[in-house]
Amino acid sequence: MIIDTHVHLDTKRFNKDLTEVLKRARNNNIGKFIIPAIDSQNMDKLIKLAENNEDIFFSTGHHPNRLDTFDLKEIEKQVSHKKCVAIGECGLDWFRIPKGASINDIKKAQKEVFEAQIKLSIKYNKPLILHSRDTDEDMFETLMKYKDELVGGVIHCYVGSDKLLELEKYNFYYGIGGVVTYKSAIELRENIKKIPLNKLLIETDAPYLTPEPHRKKRNEPLYTNDILSEMSKILNIDEKELEKTIEENTNRLFKF
């Protein structure tokens, strides 16, 4: 069974055909789905989807690009929900600094929001779903402030950073998505070989980052099969064997 560990099923792009999207996935070996939170304001839809579908789970957290709506108390309200499996997606993002904004102020604010969620992860023993874009050194340094307490988690949309490979020893896993199918992803395709097999996960980040050969289409959980197939080729491991290993990894991290 394949588990899509990062899929935005709550976005508007799935409003018209979510039932069909889920049916295609379920009929093609995708057995569970995790919807990551973006901010506290979108939680109602996530929770409803999880409560109405046995195979859908969610995280509670706040994306670094949504600083203006951060509300730790609202995030914490969902932690004990039986379908809540993680904190996030949270982290740092130096790629999308608003025009005219003070870079230093944005960085300071993002780090404060991120650290608040790291502490929540530690408090409730929930893994983190990490978002890191152009921030690898800062991400590592921020996490190391809590290195003796870290629960671990997943580096969402891992794209090949050497620095983030160092987080493996702190119980962090690596979410491999459609980017691994791109010929231009040279660093990722090489560095995936350095990741221990027991630290690999699969994700789509749908509706974004559609893998080959579907790149002109909206991404959806069905395409985890293409990601798995490409990983199998790169790692030179039987596809079914790799699928079983990644399923075990996912169950271990998220305590399914």
Q: What is the pLDDT of residues 104-123, one digit of tens each?
A: 889 999 999 999 999 999 99
Q: What is the pLDDT of residues 148-178, one digit of tens each?
A: 999 999 999 999 889 999 999 999 999 999 9
Residue 96 in this model has a pLDDT that exceeds 80 = no
What is the overall mean pLDDT for the chain?
95
Take residue 187 and report the two structure tokens written for it.
Answer: 């660093």
Q: What is the pLDDT of residues 1-38, one digit of tens each?
A: 999 999 999 999 999 999 999 999 999 999 999 999 99
**pTM of the predicted protein model:** 0.96
Q: What is the pLDDT of residues 200-229, one digit of tens each?
A: 999 999 999 999 999 989 999 999 999 999
Q: Which helix (H) or strand (E) holds 191?
A: helix 186-191
What is the pLDDT at residue 67? 86
Q: Where are the domains of the chain?
A: 2-254
Q: Which helix (H) or strand (E) holds 239?
A: helix 239-254
Please answer whether residues 253 and 173 qualify as being in contact, where contact means their C-beta atoms are separated by less than 8 angstroms: yes
Residues 60-75, mean pLDDT to the nearest whole number: 91
What is the pLDDT at residue 51? 97
CATH fold, domain 2-254, is TIM Barrel (3.20.20)
What is the pLDDT at residue 94? 86
Please count the CA atoms within 13 angstroms of the CA of 7 that sit on its side-chain side: 33
Residues 81-85, mean pLDDT to the nearest whole number: 97
Cis link prior to 207 (omega < 30° from 0)? yes
Under the banding of pLDDT at 50, 70 and 90, the label for residue 82 is: very high
